[in-house]
Structure 1
Amino acid sequence: MSQSCAPSLRERQKAETWRALHHAAVASVLERGLERSTIESITDRAGVSQRTFFNYFPSKEDAVLGLRAPVLDPALLEGFSFAQDVLGQVSRLLLAVAGSSHEGVDQVRRRELTRQYPHLIHRLIERMNEAENLVRGALAGLLADNPEWAAGMGESGVDDVARVTVMTAAIPLRFTVASGTYSPAAGLAPEDLGPALALFHSVQRKLL
């Protein structure tokens, strides 16, 4: 990594504080249970103030799951083309944006926690919805610059076309996660979506 790309001291300290809070939240839940784990118990364990906690997480549930607000790096849109496999491009874009909300988190432990406390899944769904909204907004912008792709779709505007495209592109991702070959420890790589995308295209041709 070049010196210009290396994280600053402030960025490293923020990352360390984030990890300390996340690990403290998980340790607290494993020791005391989710209901008895409080933000105070988490911050005491991490050695930071409750005010600091809310600079990193909006709730103890997000701290336990290790969730961040998803982000869409503009670099991910470079090279996007409506001339080839739009579904695959949007599926992989959605995977990248959704993954930004839990980068570096122990997926096996997180799955174990959601099994033990099923209502935590609702927070995961909310973060996934946020990721989908980010991708939808970006795709709507790309469509606005390429109106010919959405031509012939009736009165639907670019927002509607983007919304249905993103919803459709999420199907191969969810199918892959639900498959028996998915490993939470390994996570998903863009190439892992290949079989699901191929199957989707085959089914789509039959349906149409």
Structure 2
Amino acid sequence: MRKTRGMSSTVLPSLRDRQKAETWLTLHQAAVASVLERGLDSATVETITARAGVSQRTFFNYFPSKEDAVLGLRTPVMDPALLEGFSFHRDVLGQVSRLLLAVALSAYEGVDQVRRRELTRQYPHLVHRMVERMNEAEDLVRSALTGLLAENPQWFAGMGEEDQPADVADVARIVVMTASIPLRFTVASGRYSPAAGLAPDDLAPALSLFHSVQRKLL
């Protein structure tokens, strides 16, 4: 997945941040090399750290598991700046879908996407770990949306049963689940290239189709 288009100038990382990034990349590359050389089962944390020249304690400061190191996965994060300009007065589905993409990118970016896909094809159970990270990203977005909805109760007023109004957390959950459909559809489509990755504009065709289908269903 490629970086979000149209980003403004960024602050240069500190020496400590650069060193941490280099250690993270060294461990990831060592994990991939160990899997290619030995196979996933034989590529242990011990063999990975020996190849990387660091301690096992250092390994677990960067990755919670061998699978995360092999895939180059990070814990997803929610940048508060992503919520700036969010509005319930325009295309909520599109905004939440793009928010999901941005948070997912924080977990998936920075590695060879083609190699990652090759590894998941060779070891299908690795996909489970990627799904878990996506679920974590959805949890972050759902939590943020719950807060936004709590500040805008008029948006979901009248939802739910007459004697039991919809709960704000439930509304946030179903919105996020719905908004994940265009993202998953785009990734699964033939138009998606692991080498090129995804940017917010790439969701436009799926969002347009979703809106058209939704109008027919209602």
Deviation per residue, 1:13-55 (Å, 9 max, x gap): 0000000000000000001000000101000111100000000
Residue 124 of structure 1 aligns with an amino acid whose one-letter code is M
Per the TM alignment, residue 181 of structure 1 is displaced from its structure 2 partner at its CA by 1.0
Secondary structure of 2:74's aligned partner: coil
> Given residue 74 of structure 2, which amino acid in structure 1 is its aligned partner?
R
Match of 1:50 in 2: 56
Q: How does 1:45-194 map to 2 (within 5 A)?
A: 45-154=51-160, 155-194=165-204
Matched residue pairs, number?
Answer: 207
Rounded to whole Å, the distance in 1 between the matches of 2:29 and 2:140 is 28
| Identity level (%) | 80
TM-score by length of structure 2 reads 0.93
Q: 31, 34, 47: which is aligned to 1:28?
A: 34
Determine the C-alpha separation between the residues in 1 that align with 2:97 and 2:66.
30
Q: Please give the secondary structure, in 2, of the residue aligned with 1:149.
A: helix
How far 1:203 moved relative to its partner? 0.3
Query: Larger relative contact order (C-alpha < 8 A, sep ≥ 6)?
Result: 2
**Deviation at 1:103?**
1.5
Rounded Cα–Cα distance in structure 2 between residues aligned with 1:33 and 1:103: 24
1:5 deviation in Å?
A: 1.9
The letter of the residue matching 1:107 is Q
Q: Offset at 1:157?
A: 1.1
RMSD: 1.2
Distance 2:18 2:67 in 1: 24
Deviation per residue, 1:94-125 (Å, 9 max, x gap): 00001100211111000000000000000000
Distance (Å, rounded) in 2 between the aligned partners of 1:102 and 1:44: 25
Q: Which one of 188, 205, 214 corresponds to residue 195 of structure 1? A: 205
Cα offset for 1:174?
0.6
5+ residue gaps, structure 1: none
